Amino acid sequence: MARMKEPKEPKVSTLVSDLVDSLSEIEGLTFDTDIEVVPTGISPLDKILGGGIPVGKLILLVGNAGGGKSTLTCSIGRGFHRHHPKSIVSYLDAEQAMNTTRLASMGCDMDRTILISQDLTIEKIADILKKTVEYKKKAGLEDVPFLVIWDSESATMTAKHKEVADVSKIIGFKANMLSWIIPLMVELCSKYKITLIIIGQLRDKIQMNQYQPSTGDLRGLGNQKLTGGNVMKFAPFQILFIKPKADMDPSTYGFSGVVSEMKIIKNKLFTPMIKVDLALDYMKGFSDVWSKFELLKTCKAIKGTGWRYLQNYQDCKFRTKQIEELYSTDPMFKERFNELYDMFIDQVCAFPDAIKLITKKDDDDDVEDTEAPTNNGERTALDEALDNLGDD
């Protein structure tokens, strides 16, 4: 009697396909695909973001005063305009501190940028978002990424706050409203490819119990707390934290600005908590080239003091302020500069605080070089003179 063959078990992929077909019968149910990102054009930032700003997501941007929060959103808007010819940026300025001249100087295309700078309420912000969705549907632009910037949540009250004489009677009302309205905004943004960036503020966490551990609102914020209630912790797809680190001396860099430290506290696209320095030119906004330079300088791939040179291109001596010009006019310099950057950015972003190991290794190498000099390593009088010259 012939033995019957046992039926083959279906492949897992077949099972998954069958389940998807079954779930598709549920009305309105969709299945997520790869998340589209829009590069900001600031390479170190794009790296730690996971490629750029995600389309259709809520981003919370917080930080200390003077770090460049508002300016950074302009740079992101510039990225959206470069990414898609029909992309529109709406800047909702509840702080009434932005103007069209500054938006244009930061690189935004003013033909595709809307600035609403006035006393706004949370209800009005929600209405603007709804009207934006209606416009996208009417114009057939559902697949075009839009950017809405809300500056800032802390400066935006509810309509009820403006009506009552005693604000103490509605303590907690704003947080309750945000807990209800933010999830609705997230749903609209996801469905209609609108990235919503909310600029938030930080405040010191007050401990009512002296024996209670002094902890921050989220890991990475230290002893500071997000405003807006718990929804501002849980709803954002990413939480960006930026703070000023050092002023950029005009005599050295050729412009006034600040170096700001950036890290992504919450990130669903890349490893969080990795720090990079971003260079802000007060007149032009955040700079890709100067941000790369800051990373190479930290990793000690830029050698020399007054006159400098690249670790892998010692024949080209330059002043610090010449970096941008050399990058745009000297192909060999640009190639070697980018080679160094590509090598070090991957090392820096391998895991949080990797840069500490990189800089420590460089310090050890410097000590070894100092302790064991050779005749081949002797410096010429010209080298000494170049290094002793300060920047103009």
Verify that 252 and 335 share a domain, yes or no: no
pLDDT band of 196, cuts 50, 70, 90: very high
The pLDDT of 41-66, averaged and rounded, is 96
Task: Answer whether 189's CB lies under 8 Å from 58's CB.
Answer: yes
Residues 131 and 200 in one domain: yes
In angstroms, the CA 221 to CA 229 distance is: 15
For residue 12, being part of any structural domain is answered with no
Residues 39 and 87 in one domain: yes
Count of domains forming the chain? 2
Please tell me the predicted confidence (pLDDT) of residue 112: 97
pLDDT greater than 70 at residue 223 = yes
Under a CB-based contact definition with an 8 Å cutoff, are residues 157 and 151 in contact?
no
Q: For position 193, what pLDDT does the model report?
A: 97
Range of the domain at 160: 32-204+215-296
Residue ranges of alpha helices (H) inside the chain are 12-23, 43-49, 69-83, 100-105, 122-139, 159-163, 173-192, 231-234, 250-253, 288-298, 323-329, 331-348, 354-371, 381-388
Domain boundary among 269, 296, 323: 296
Query: What are the phi and psi torsion angles at 332 (to 5°)?
Result: -65, -40
Same domain for 181 and 68? yes
Residues 229 and 305 in one domain: no
- pTM, full prediction: 0.86
Given a cut of 50, whether residue 377 has pLDDT beyond it is no
Do both 272 and 327 map to the same domain? no
pLDDT at 391: 45
Indicate whether 285 and 339 sit together in one domain: no
Instruction: Please indicate, yes or no, whether residues 163 and 186 belong to a single structural domain of this protein.
Output: yes
First to last CA, the chain: 99
DSSP 8-state symbol, 34: P
Please say which residue of 252, 267, 296 terminates a domain.
296
Among 264, 296, 328, residue at a domain's last position = 296
- Cα 8 versus chain centre, distance: 51
Same domain, 254 and 174: yes
- As a whole-number percent, the residues of the chain with pLDDT over 70 amount to 87
Amino acid at 69: K
Bin 155: left if φ > 0, else alpha if -120 < ψ < 50, else beta. alpha
DSSP state of 111: G
Mean pLDDT value across residues 83-91: 96
As a whole-number percent, the residues of the chain with pLDDT over 90 amount to 71
**Which pair of tokens denotes residue 156?**
């935006």
Sign of the CA dihedral with 369 first, then 370, 375, and 377 last? positive
- Say if residue 139 is in the same domain as residue 269: yes
Residue 178 pLDDT: 97
Q: Are residues 268 and 333 in the same domain?
A: no
Predicted pLDDT at 126 = 97
Specify if 333 maps to a domain.
Answer: yes
* Residue with the two structure tokens 């973001």: 49
